């Protein structure tokens, strides 16, 4: 049992003794305040005289109260002191504060595993201004995480619930073991059928299992890292350009994706009709249809159905204007980056 719990039970026992002592003195003819005062002075053995003279029954009751109450008070005081000295109380208060903070999150990303891959994923999500919650079984990893966090085994449904999986937008399974990632994917998909799940695959053979378990994407960091190094070796300027527009916050131009809403101004219009490049100055790089097919440099007569995803290059002002075209009128500028669950899956 933790020190916090033992201290709480000891304090509760002390309060029970005070209540019983007060009730006993009331039965013996004391007023309520006098009874409480007599009980406290008796239990703490401060040596004050009795409020009223005691007969033999009162003396016997006082003896029993001293024997029970003093020991209980001493035990409770010792446990409270131990808890304070060991820092458990501060840790408990910090954990409660963290739980309240997690309880207020909505539409956040859960990062399971705060190793090298998980830390990199969390840092990128945070750099995009998105809320996130980190989950890891290692207390030391969690202690160093600068984000709201939960200590526990993510293969346990209760831990995922504590991380707010019911309100989450996406989950990243970045554990060190492929079997654990498969288990987390299965559990998360069972708890939230509509959740976007991105899973890490250490072995290439694990990608198919993760997809069957319910992951929307299975990523092999080693394979992707190797491809990036090959890209820098063969086409360094292209690779660096893509790296900069995707991750460099100091560059004004960015590539973003937008999901076309049902009631958006651009819904059911052609690429020529919305003419993004002429109207707002942004460049339409690609379109992904509802069926999942990519169209790079789409033709002017390409029809943009609702839930179509547009990949656009532009500066902040241009992307904001595109967001207006892609979002429902009621959303306005308060909308997020136009990335709904389906868009993230794409």
Rounded distance, CA 144 to CA 74, Å?
Answer: 37
Rounded distance, CA 151 to CA 200, Å?
Answer: 20
Enumerate residues 6+ apart whose C-beta is below 8 A from 85: none
Say what the pLDDT of residue 338 is. Answer: 38
Whether 268 and 304 have beta carbons less than 8 Å apart is answered as yes
In the structure encoding, which two tokens stand for residue 327, read together? 């979002």
For residue 270, the SS3 value is strand
Whether 183 and 155 have beta carbons less than 8 Å apart is answered as yes
Say what the pLDDT of residue 197 is. Answer: 94
Q: Are strands 196-200 and 217-219 parallel, antiparallel or unpaired?
A: parallel
Say what the pLDDT of residue 340 is. Answer: 42
Say what the pLDDT of residue 85 is. Answer: 64
Rounded distance, CA 338 to CA 309, Å?
Answer: 9
In the structure encoding, which two tokens stand for residue 125, read together? 């999500």
In a 13 Å sphere around the CA of 282, the CA atoms on its Cβ side amount to 30
Say what the pLDDT of residue 333 is. Answer: 38
In the structure encoding, which two tokens stand for residue 209, read together? 């299992």
> Going residue by residue through the chain (346 aa), what tens digit of pLDDT does each one get?
566 677 788 888 888 988 998 998 898 888 899 888 888 888 877 766 777 888 888 888 888 888 888 888 888 887 777 766 665 556 666 677 777 878 888 889 999 999 888 999 999 898 888 899 999 988 888 888 888 888 888 888 899 998 999 999 999 999 988 999 999 999 999 999 999 999 999 888 888 999 999 999 999 888 888 888 898 888 888 878 777 776 666 667 788 888 888 888 888 889 898 888 888 888 898 998 888 888 888 888 888 888 889 999 888 888 888 888 888 664 543 333 434 444 444 4
Position of tokens 């007969």?
Answer: 55
Say what the pLDDT of residue 249 is. Answer: 60
Rounded distance, CA 86 to CA 23, Å?
Answer: 36
Among candidates 139, 132, 129, which has minimal Cα distance to 95? 139
| C-alpha distances out from residue 93 to 76, 88, 137, 345, Å | 19, 9, 20, 38
Rounded distance, CA 150 to CA 320, Å?
Answer: 35
**Which residues on neighbouring strands pair with residue 111, listed in sequence order?**
134, 172
The alpha helices in 136-288, defined as continuous H runs, are: 139-144, 157-162, 178-191, 206-213, 221-234, 236-247, 271-274, 276-279
Whether 145 and 134 have beta carbons less than 8 Å apart is answered as yes
């Amino acid at each position: 049992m933790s020190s916090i719990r033992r201290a709480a039970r000891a304090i509760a026992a002390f309060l029970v003794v005070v209540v019983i002592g007060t009730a006993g003195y009331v039965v013996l003819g004391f007023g309520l305040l006098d009874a409480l005062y007599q009980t406290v002075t008796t239990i703490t053995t401060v040596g004050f005289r009795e409020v009223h003279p005691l007969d033999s029954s009162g003396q016997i009751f006082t003896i029993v109260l001293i024997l029970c109450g003093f020991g209980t008070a001493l035990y409770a005081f010792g446990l409270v002191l131990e808890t304070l000295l060991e820092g458990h109380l501060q840790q408990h208060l910090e954990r409660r504060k963290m739980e309240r903070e997690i309880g207020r999150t909505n539409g956040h990303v859960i990062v399971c595993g705060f190793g090298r891959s998980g830390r990199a994923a969390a840092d990128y999500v945070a750099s995009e201004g998105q809320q996130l919650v980190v989950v890891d079984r290692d207390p030391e990893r969690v202690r160093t995480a600068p984000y709201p966090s939960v200590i526990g085994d993510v293969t346990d449904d209760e831990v995922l619930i504590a991380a707010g999986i019911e309100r989450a937008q996406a989950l990243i399974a970045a554990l060190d073991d492929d079997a654990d990632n498969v288990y987390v994917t299965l559990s998360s998909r069972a708890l939230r059928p509509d959740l976007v799940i991105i899973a890490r695959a250490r072995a290439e053979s694990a990608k198919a299992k993760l997809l069957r378990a319910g992951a929307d994407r299975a990523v092999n960091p080693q394979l992707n890292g190797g491809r990036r190094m090959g890209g820098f070796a063969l086409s360094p300027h292209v690779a660096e350009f893509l790296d900069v527009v995707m991750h460099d916050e100091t560059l004004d131009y960015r590539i973003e994706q937008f999901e076309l809403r049902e009631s958006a101004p651009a819904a059911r219009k052609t690429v020529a009709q919305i003419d993004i490049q002429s109207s707002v100055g942004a460049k339409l790089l690609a379109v992904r249809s509802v069926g999942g097919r990519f169209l790079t440099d789409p033709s002017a007569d390409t029809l943009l159905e609702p839930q179509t995803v547009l990949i656009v290059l532009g500066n902040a002002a241009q992307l904001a204007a595109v967001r207006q075209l892609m979002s429902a009128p009621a959303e306005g500028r308060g909308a997020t980056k136009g990335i709904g669950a389906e868009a993230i899956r794409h």
